[in-house]
Amino acid sequence: MMEDMFGAKHIPGVREGLMYSTEGMVDRIKAALDARKDKDFVILVRTDALSAKEPAQKMEERIMAYTQAGADALFVAGGSLQEVPRLTKMTNKPFMAVTTNVPLAEQVKNEVVLGSISVPLVGLAAGAVHKALGELKKTGIIEEMKERSLPSDVMAALLRSAEAAEIAKKYNAFRL
């Protein structure tokens, strides 16, 4: 995902609303397309125009420019789910949307092809860790550790442990 907000976004008071120019973003999109080696690698372009208090017309100008530059998919931060079908029709591109607590049926109805629930998932994970550490502090043990954790084979697959081990062997990573 490429974003048109400059610098450290989402941190109150830090460069809030500072945006790349549309032309600057178009140049970045073209560079990404030129650098793309795998045809299946998707260039998803996000605009924070609405979050930066730009008018809706400016957001639309931006997404049209990003579309013409070759973006594969788009995301309008701060946009409404109900706007996605209109924007999809306007650009002929698929859209991502923030879909926290939005039923899948409603996402499909609104033509969302990629839903973002990353922030709540991180919150869930952090909440589980916080709860477990509180339990450890209070009782000296985390009960039901095995039942609360991912099975080791699932964890190994997620971490691609076998591949990492093969790479380590290839480069003699275990040699002292």
The 3-state secondary structure of 92-136 reads: CCCEEEECCCCCHHHHHHCCEEEEECHHHHHHHHHHHHHHHHHHH
Domains of the chain (ranges, CATH numbers): 2-120 (3.20.20.60), 145-176 (no CATH)
Residue with tokens 């990492």: 164
State the pLDDT at residue 148. Answer: 85
Q: What is the pLDDT along the chain (176 residues), one digit of tens a residue?
A: 999 988 766 666 655 668 899 999 999 999 999 999 998 999 999 999 998 889 999 999 999 999 999 999 999 998 999 999 999 999 999 999 988 888 999 999 999 998 888 888 999 999 999 999 999 999 999 988 888 899 999 999 999 999 988 998 889 887 77
pTM above 0.75?
Answer: no
pLDDT, residue 58, reads 96
Q: Which residue has the tokens 């609360």?
A: 148
- pLDDT, residue 73, reads 97
